[in-house]
A and B are shown apart, each in its own frame.
Chain A
Amino acid sequence: MIKKICFCVLVSCIFTTTIAQNCQFSFNGKISDFHDDSPIIGASIQIEGENKFATTDFDGFFEFQNICAGKYTLIVNHVACETKRVRFNVTENTFKEISLEHHIEDLEEVIVTSTNKTTSNTIQSTKIDRKTIDEFSGESLGDALKNVSGVSSLNTGNTIVKPIINGLHSSRIIVMANGVRLQDQDWGIEHAPNIDINNADRITVIKGTNSLEFGGDAIGGVIVLEPTKYFLKDRIYGKTILGLQSNGKGGNLHTNIVKTTEKGWFYNGKATLKRFGDFHSPNYNLTNTGLNSEAFSLLTGVKKFEKGFTVDYSFINNKIGIFRASHIGNIDDLVTAINSKQPQIIENFSYDIVSPRQEIKHHIFKVDYYQRFKNSGKLEVQYDFQKNERFEFDVRVGDDKNKAAIDLNLKTHAISANFNFDSNSNKTYKVGFKGVYQNNFANPETGVRRLIPDYDKFDAGFFAIGNFILNLKTTFNVGLRYDFNYINAKKFYIKTRWIERGYDTQFNDLIIGDFNTQWLVNPTFRFHNLSASAGIHHYFNDKTAVLFNYGLSSRAPNASELFSDGLHHSAARIELGNLAMQQEVSHRVSATYAYKTSKTKISVEAFFNTIQNFIYLAPIGTEQTIRGAFPVWNYKKTNANLFGFDFTWQQKLNEAFSFSNKSSLIYGYETKNKRDLIDIPAPNFRNSLQYKNENWHQLGVRLESEFVLQQNNFPDNNFSTFLPSQKTIAFVDISSTPKSYHLLNLQTDVVFHLSKKTDLHISATISNLLNINYRDYLNRIRFFADDLGRNYALQLKINY
């Protein structure tokens, strides 16, 4: 406790400036949960020795008027918490955020810490707290993120879930896992983030480009998975989650154990296991859609106020079945599949995962160190190494049956350093540097021509961000970043493809070897990317606030967009990149209107994003080969505009009932060709009605409705092709979108206090309650099968 007071005094010292006797100051503040920043409501605050009291409102805010300059002690009181004191120093109008360790879930004692960070956020961001993360313990990151208005997903079945933020996905989204930018071959549509959601304590979704410290190429946004925060206290605690579900006849088990010491050491081990067999739609089994996943992480370090370090290793091993009937031979099979109302292959339920499948191992190793310097700020340095091994097994025959068709090994080393000048909380600056070396190795043992070549890549980036609290109501933020990318690839091209792509007129000087029917070429690329951001946040009054921001970002084309060339066996299509791709440049403007009272919370977010050289993959027809015809998907570039609205409304109806609505609308089109963009999420609406009884085991019941309209704005890429086996010319409808659908989900949960330190949470969920048949536009298996049918799930969670 003494330590904590010392800590607070130290914080106060940082703020100390000349003191003049003046009693016109206001002291405002916010009490929030240390873990997830959620406001703590109804905390009482007293200034010791003075007859001044305040209570936090629905948003955790409190206010004192007519405060004299001087030193004070604040006494913070909250139900179920011990009384705590914080010292502070008033020299001017002051705003202070006080974080309370208020998680009943893991700590029974409350620790008050004082931070000098501003609450006003000039970026469009949404947080997902640990309770929600725990609900999704058995699912994927992409599933949990759909709780954020404006975030949807691009699926391959239901186990490969790629997040889409405001219509943008893949390389346009940065995933930050525990301070490490995930490098896991995110370019592919069927490559989901290789991350165990249980590793995150809190997830923040940042829309758009205004988070330059993570990167300048996040045209879509950033997903930040934050690790657990540890406290200076001698204790051991943990939690275990067991989930079971009917659809897939499987479950998940997660355990997390933490040991912390008063001296600042912490040790944390986590492990997650998932096993699912074939999932099923309402009418049939979805053969080969099972999932085996193992993940663990080990973390240790020291955390003190002045300095600390972390050593972190995490590993995930995923074996993911890909729906058997989605494997097609040539165009005949595709036409048969599209025209047939149900899958061509339906077998009985099985836990076996055969081909096609993905096997992915991802390792992350990280060390970081920070040190605070008195009266200047905090230095952070970090090194991380990632290794991503990706195998895609296709349905192959003969000797190659058990040989992967794609075998990629991506290694990434990154170092970064940044300094946060935060001694003056009204003007903080952050500058940083990051260097990345990446090597991709495509194993030739597959016997299949490489879709992605061997390459080396170097990145170097510098950024500077300034955050200015102009007055109590207004915060302004500006940032600038420069990134340099260098790619050096060695790639084989079939000579006829080299000519068909027109490279013989542009790039013949890149050829370094002649291998009979193939050229070996050595393309190198240098990209200079500039990104910038500016944002302003303003409170009109205690209920209403607005936020405007602008972001400029540049993204260099990825390996897939540049180099793809050839038959992607697991997708049975020829995918073609383009060496002449240039970087995407995006200008995004957005505005948020937020209204909050004790009963109502409304947020309206609007954005407009105009992107030059927007790169996308779309079908262009077929190519005839000696094996028959294959659909050809080409990476194209265009100028695109996207705009949309995300709407969130939470309403307390009375003490027991509340209602919420999350809706998002988005429209994307090509400016030159006046065509709609492909793969833009359809308008969707999530409504939920919630009942909560705090007096009886915190009983909660939630009925949720998920309504997704048919996407009517899609590009027509349909084509006709001759089918020799059927002796007809067939029309290939590869563009039409599925009908609108409406799902109902019912969830209920209770908490039992087993002992002073042990809680048992039990929740039961029925999803797709009415067992309806539906297909989703953004699921790649929609051509072949219906989506998931009804699922009964039971989850037990013990905190101890």
Chain B
Amino acid sequence: MKTIKHIFALVAFTIFAVACSKDDPIVVNQEEVITTLTLTLTPESGNIITLRSYDLDGSDGPNPPVISISGSLAANTTYIGSVEVLNETESPAEDVTIEVIDEGEEHQFFYTFTNSIGTVAYTDTDNDENPIGVTFTLTTAAAGSGDLTVTLIHEPAKSAADVKSGSITNAGGETDVEATFSLTVQ
């Protein structure tokens, strides 16, 4: 009696289990991935400088971003700057900068220096007349060395103290990109 029940149960179970095979799962490509941040600094005369942070495996992958800096900056010089963010996991690469500008009220780039090697002034605005930071001017100080950290914040509190002038301290929001470049000014 008992054995029969066991066998019956086992058979029912097996039939049920076999009936449940499935197709392959759908791949999830992380949304709003940014793999590449490129800063282009153009002086009135002299070499154009590019700063690049490239992380093909994004925020989930183990590899750290690859930082490349094309050269050193000239002292006491004003550069016209622009920033570009790309998603290079897609082909052709998706230019996320366009989305950042379209949703300008929800984004802002911040440029933070160590050792006071330079300053940045925003030259663009969103629909609320607040800065986005895709274009800017960068003015170097006297010769020296230090770091520039570029941060793209999603949903910053643009009305908070000093945020419009470029201070990240009170910005809040969520970090989409954070890249640090070690610069030499000479």
Q: Which residues of A contact B (CB under 8 A)?
A: 329-330, 373, 379, 381, 395, 397-398, 400, 413, 415, 417, 419, 433, 435, 437, 439, 442, 444, 446-450, 453-454, 456, 458, 490, 492, 494-497, 500, 512-513, 515-518, 520, 565-567, 574, 623-628, 630, 724-725, 727
Contact = CB atoms under 8 A, between A and B. Distances in A.
Interface in B41-92: 53, 55-65, 89
B6 to A, nearest CB: 6
A385 to B, nearest CB: 11
A628 B27 CA distance: 25
Interface in B80-139: 89, 103, 106, 112, 114
B152 to A, nearest CB: 9
A415 B8 CA distance: 11
From A490, A516, A625, residue with most partner B Cβ within 10 Å = A625
Interface of B: 1-2, 5-6, 9-10, 12-13, 16-17, 20-22, 24-32, 34-35, 37, 53, 55-65, 89, 103, 106, 112, 114, 147, 149, 151, 154-155, 168, 173-180
B9 A724 contact: no
B72 to A, nearest CB: 20
A753 B103 CA distance: 67
B64 A444 contact: no
A450 B28 contact: yes
A501 to B, nearest CB: 8
Contact of B27 (A433, A446, A518, A566): A518
Contacts of B26: 444
Among B13, B34, B155, B180, chain A packs the most CB atoms within 10 A around the CB of B13
B61 A496 contact: yes
B6 A444 contact: no
Contact of A725 (B27, B168, B176): B168
Closest 10 CB pairs of A and B: A500-B62, A626-B55, A624-B64, A628-B178, A447-B31, A496-B57, A724-B149, A625-B59, A566-B60, A627-B59
Contact of B25 (A417, A490, A516, A627): A490
Nearest to B64: A624
30 contacts: A329-B174, A379-B5, A397-B155, A398-B103, A413-B16, A415-B12, A417-B5, A433-B6, A435-B9, A435-B10, A442-B25, A449-B28, A454-B22, A454-B25, A492-B27, A492-B28, A494-B62, A496-B62, A516-B89, A517-B57, A520-B27, A567-B59, A624-B65, A625-B61, A625-B64, A626-B53, A627-B175, A724-B149, A724-B178, A725-B149
Contact of B60 (A379, A381, A449): A449
A724 B28 contact: no
Given A397-B154, A447-B31, 11 more contacts: A330-B178, A398-B155, A400-B31, A435-B13, A454-B22, A494-B57, A494-B61, A517-B61, A625-B61, A626-B55, A630-B59
Say whether chain B's binding surface is mostly helix, strand, loop, or mixed.
loop
A490 B25 CA distance: 7
Contact of A724 (B1, B58, B147): B147
A626 B178 contact: yes
A435 B7 CA distance: 12
A513 B10 CA distance: 34
Contacts of A518: 27
Given A397-B106, A626-B34, A725-B151, A495 B175 contact: no
Contacts of A566: 60
B82 to A, nearest CB: 19
A444 B30 CA distance: 10
Given A417-B2, A437-B20, A517-B89, A448 B28 contact: yes
A275 B6 CA distance: 45
A494 B29 CA distance: 10
A570 to B, nearest CB: 14
B89 A417 contact: no
B147 to A, nearest CB: 7
Contacts of B28: 444, 446-450, 492
B9 A398 contact: no
A419 B178 contact: no
Given A415-B13, A724-B149, A626 B65 contact: yes
Contacts of B56: 496, 517
Contacts of B5: 379, 381, 417
A395 B175 CA distance: 12
Contacts of A400: 31
Given A381-B9, A417-B6, A727 B60 contact: no
Nearest to A449: B28
A141 B152 CA distance: 44
Nearest to B17: A437
A725 B46 CA distance: 30
A497 B62 contact: yes
Contacts of A444: 25-28
